[in-house]
Amino acid sequence: MATVIGVIKPMRNFAWLIRNSFDGIVAWTQTHRAGGLVEALNGLFHVTKRQARGRFCFETMRVLLLRIAAGLDFARINPHAAEPTCLPAARVRPRTGASKRRHSVPP
């Protein structure tokens, strides 16, 4: 009885996987293309959202997405384009209280 349950559970999981992925499987059999292109575009969009830095209007997103996708280099026409737009914040840990100190403070 234990062997039957041990065989049925993986088969049930496999059937569940096929049922949930059926549309993708059918699309792949018709086109023989994986979803890698869509995932790559999704990654480009996420990079664009990070570079937009809160300026979420359609024109800004469109221009940044096209610039990233095309791999344009504006340093040739604008010497300041190679410089970062904002400097990274210094990673300084604040010293708060004696409990954070490693050594005793002399009087």
Q: What is the pLDDT of residues 59-103, one digit of tens each?
A: 877 877 777 777 766 677 766 665 544 444 444 455 555 555 555
Domain tally, the chain: 2
Q: Rounded CA gap, 102 and 6, in Å? A: 55
User: Do both 5 and 18 map to the same domain?
Assistant: yes
20 pLDDT band (50/70/90 cuts)?
Answer: very high
Dihedral in degrees, nearest 10, Cα atoms 42, 44, 46, 50:
-170
User: Do both 7 and 41 map to the same domain?
Assistant: no
Domain that holds residue 3: 1-32
* pLDDT mean across residues, the chain: 72
User: Do both 5 and 44 map to the same domain?
Assistant: no
The answer to whether residue 107 sits within a structural domain is: no
User: Do both 51 and 85 map to the same domain?
Assistant: yes
Share of the chain above pLDDT 90, in %: 9
The answer to whether residue 88 sits within a structural domain is: yes
User: Do both 74 and 49 map to the same domain?
Assistant: yes
Q: Rounded CA gap, 44 and 62, in Å? A: 11
- pTM of the predicted structure, to 2 decimals: 0.37
